[in-house]
Structure 1
Amino acid sequence: MDKINLLISVTTVSLFISLFLAFFLVTVKTKNKISNVLFAVFLLIIAVDICEPLFNTMVDGPSNLRMLRNTFAFLQIPVFYLYVLSVCYSDFKLKPKCILHLLPFLVSNLILIPRFYAVDTASKISFIINRKNMIELQFSHILIHVQIVIYIIAVFSVLRKSKKLYLENYAGRNVSSYNWLFQFTIALTILYLIALLKNIFKFSDYPYISEWIKIGLLFFNLFIICWYLYKALNNPGLFRNIDSKLKLVSEIVSEKKNSEQTGIKEKEYTEELVKLQQYMVEEKPFLNPSLTIQDVAKDIKVPVRDLSLLINHQLEQHFYDFVNSYRIARAMDILKDVANSKVTILEILYEVGFNSKSSFNTAFKKHTGNTPTYYRKNL
């Protein structure tokens, strides 16, 4: 199979899977409708991008449609950024200001109107032949790479903040879901870096290298899309959205320092700490796998803001770790009890408030230095 046929074959497979998955995401019934639609749009934009080999067999010579297809690359990373916001924040909504993310795409097309879109075929051919010297294309290449860098930084910033907010306010699913989305973003970043390398060779004296890199990109692109969908479809509750109105403890502390308030007084701090510890021991709220700091604040009648400062700032523990410490202590008691020797690790983790084996093992090892199985065998 020669290079052209290989390129068309890989493109056909990638295109089919991308379109099929996009259709599935749009039609499947789920609570995360906006997230699914945004990722489906992301897949469709990628499909437009990877269909070039097939597109070239149907459209001969330079055309407005071909150039427009090329500029769709400007829409990929902004849509992915919006998708990340939608899976991280439960109150995310598409607002009119989201149109601003279209600006690079619009600008790249507007500057092409005078010397490409609005001219005859002969002028278009001349434009493509001399593309290395065309300032419009040079500007577009610089713009898209700057755009990618800015959005990738923004995505990592959103993930970092939302993960920290989750740790400070929730004690449910394992935070590995956020770590995994970090990994997917890193894979996407690598994909864009390879695409940058492809473009460098495309405009160099070695354009044939660009073609082979393009084939590699198609394979890699297909892999990360299938990887993501496999993970998401096998874990429908992978992400637990948080409220974007929540503030990091560091921000709350900073606000308190800038206000006239002096924070929680020592006496109030001691009283609230005793009340919290008594509540955790007597009521055992940690057995609830979906426990939030709002739930605890409501039960012990302490403002969420003060409770967050008490746990995350004064005790220097994330709420996630604070709750897990009680769960692990309870699990250790069960493991020590000879009468429970036949109770499986899986049964124990569900009984103490965890909802996955991986999160239980990670938390147990963090608090004890050993795995649950090793701990039981060496009592």
Structure 2
Amino acid sequence: MILPLSTFPDFNFYSTPLLVLVVQGVLLSGLLFAKFSKGKNISHFILASILLLVCYQQICYTVGFMGWYNVYKTTKINYWLMPIALALGPLIYFYVKSITQSNFKFKRRDILHFALAICLVLFRVFIYIYDSLQPGFNDKQNGVLKIALDENIVQPVLVFLDFSVMLLYLAFTFQLFYNYRTKIKEYFSNTYKLELNWVLSFLIVFTSLFLYSSIQTVINVAFIELSYTQQWWLNLFMAIITIYIGVRGYFTDTGKLNNLSFSFTPNEIKTVQKETNQNISEDEVQLISEFMKTEKPYLNSELNLSDLASELEMHRNELSQIINKGFQKNFNDFINEFRVNAFKKELENGAHKQLSLLGIAMDCGFNSKATFNRVFKKITNTSPTEFLQNLPK
């Protein structure tokens, strides 16, 4: 399935967009490597590696669309066209882990996650060396082991192996993300929505790419063999995703999430609840309600579960249990409801005549406009501006 081209490089409808996007992807990868060298944030290094890996696969396809195979008919590039899912899946997992785990460090045993990818590279090196020693190797595109062993046996197996590895690591990564988001809501009063949205977007785009690729593979294997140009759309989609991931990843400050420190896990709370199996008394609920109204700890935008427990002279697990069972809310929703009520009271008292809505929200404990608008809408089913307009004159 080779395009009928006779010159290289041929800048055409298929090759030019890929070439432009791939070059940008490589540049973004370089910028991320440079950012890592300055700040030593391992997440930048991993994301740069992801971009470089995707660009590597795109370069192979791009030169094909530019006429490489037609001009260099004995090219040995097929030995180095390797499926990237075996390495991409683990890299996606470690990227999210490096953001969501405080002081993350890549350990020696973590290299086992890339064992299949390493084995594939070593296998290709071995068959290349073997084939290069056979007579007539320079006169043909693929040698004896490349055809008999790699294309006839290994590559069909890799189709299913790539799918399984990518599906497994995406599942692990989504679980890692949702557990982390739950921890933030149980521990912090502001949820770092912008940074969490970036991680979720990152996972969604790669999941979309995985689904697109899987559907194309099924069609190609089970129904009809797709032409080189029909497969071009997947490569374009992949190249566009590379640029999106590179730009968003470069400008999003994931260090905020990485620096968050948790002194418990949600499972720890559940375990304590099962062990104590105690009912929440009305006195405990009333005590916390009165403390929140009189001391107003929610005005501190950095308030977390441990801080509030310390002020109340309680254990954080005990406080979390009371909030979850007594108020039927997680810590984040519990605190933000007090902030919203404080904001509404400020408006009723005419504070908007001297301050902006955002300024009032900040005084009430919110840490960003996006968080404030989202939380206010969730609790009141209206926007802050609409609420102000509906106030009695």
* TM-score normalised by the chain length of structure 2: 0.81
Q: Are 1:294 and 2:306 an aligned pair?
A: yes
- Which residue is 1:253 aligned to? 270
**Quick one: distance in 2 between partners of 1:202 and 1:172?**
47
After superposing on structure 2, the runs of 4+ consecutive aligned residues of structure 1 that deviate more than 6 Å are 1-4, 130-133
The residue correspondences of 1:178-217 to structure 2 (distance < 5 A) are 178-200=196-218, 207-214=225-232, 216-217=233-234
1:234/1:287 CA distance change after superposition, 3 Å: farther
Q: Deviations over 1:121-143 (max 9, x none)?
A: 36944555668971211111111
- Which residue is 2:50 aligned to? 42
The residue correspondences of 1:19-34 to structure 2 (distance < 5 A) are 19-28=26-35, 33-34=41-42
The residue correspondences of 1:124-163 to structure 2 (distance < 5 A) are 124-126=142-144, 134-163=152-181
- Which residue is 2:389 aligned to? 377
- Which residue is 2:236 aligned to? 219
Tell me the CA shift for residue 265 of structure 1: 6.3
Q: Are 1:311 and 2:323 an aligned pair?
A: yes
Tell me the CA shift for residue 68 of structure 1: 3.7
1:238/1:315 CA distance change after superposition, 3 Å: farther
1:369/1:208 CA distance change after superposition, 3 Å: closer
Tell me the CA shift for residue 280 of structure 1: 2.4
2:347 to 335, 340, 354: 335
- Which residue is 2:120 aligned to? 108
2:110 to 86, 94, 98: 98
- Aligned residues of 2:339 and 2:365 also touching (Cα < 8 A): yes
**Quick one: distance in 1 between partners of 2:79 and 2:27?**
25
**Quick one: distance in 2 between partners of 1:61 and 1:205?**
30
1:343/1:232 CA distance change after superposition, 3 Å: farther
- Aligned residues of 2:269 and 2:320 also touching (Cα < 8 A): no
1:342/1:319 CA distance change after superposition, 3 Å: same
2:257 to 227, 240, 243: 240
Q: Could you tell me which amino acid in structure 2 is paired with residue 270 of structure 1?
A: D
**Quick one: distance in 1 between partners of 2:84 and 2:23?**
19
**Quick one: distance in 1 between partners of 2:29 and 2:141?**
37
Q: Could you tell me which amino acid in structure 1 is paired with residue 382 of structure 2?
A: N
Q: Are 1:52 and 2:60 an aligned pair?
A: yes
Q: Deviations over 1:205-245 (max 9, x none)?
A: 8555343333x233322333333344445542685244476
**Quick one: distance in 2 between partners of 1:315 and 1:333?**
21
Per chain length, whose mean CA-contact separation is higher, i.e. which structure has more relative contact order (CA < 8 Å, sep 6+)? Answer: 2
1:351 to 355, 363, 366: 363
Structure 2 unmatched ranges of 5 or more: none
| 1:6 counterpart SS class | coil
- Aligned residues of 2:26 and 2:55 also touching (Cα < 8 A): yes
**Quick one: distance in 2 between partners of 1:110 and 1:24?**
29
1:245/1:31 CA distance change after superposition, 3 Å: farther
Tell me the CA shift for residue 51 of structure 1: 0.7
**Quick one: distance in 1 between partners of 2:48 and 2:205?**
18
- Aligned residues of 1:165 and 1:247 also touching (Cα < 8 A): yes
Over the aligned positions, Cα root-mean-square deviation in angstroms equals 3.3
1:323/1:205 CA distance change after superposition, 3 Å: closer
1:374/1:196 CA distance change after superposition, 3 Å: same
| 2:182 counterpart SS class | helix
**Quick one: distance in 1 between partners of 2:50 and 2:223?**
33
- Aligned residues of 1:201 and 1:210 also touching (Cα < 8 A): no
Structure 1 unmatched ranges of 5 or more: none
1:301/1:232 CA distance change after superposition, 3 Å: farther
1:172 to 190, 200, 203: 190
Tell me the CA shift for residue 246 of structure 1: 3.2
* TM-score normalised by the chain length of structure 1: 0.84
Tell me the CA shift for residue 342 of structure 1: 4.7
Q: Deviations over 1:95-122 (max 9, x none)?
A: 1121111122134345557766533336
Q: Could you tell me which amino acid in structure 1 is paired with residue 49 of structure 2?
A: V
- Aligned residues of 1:163 and 1:175 also touching (Cα < 8 A): no
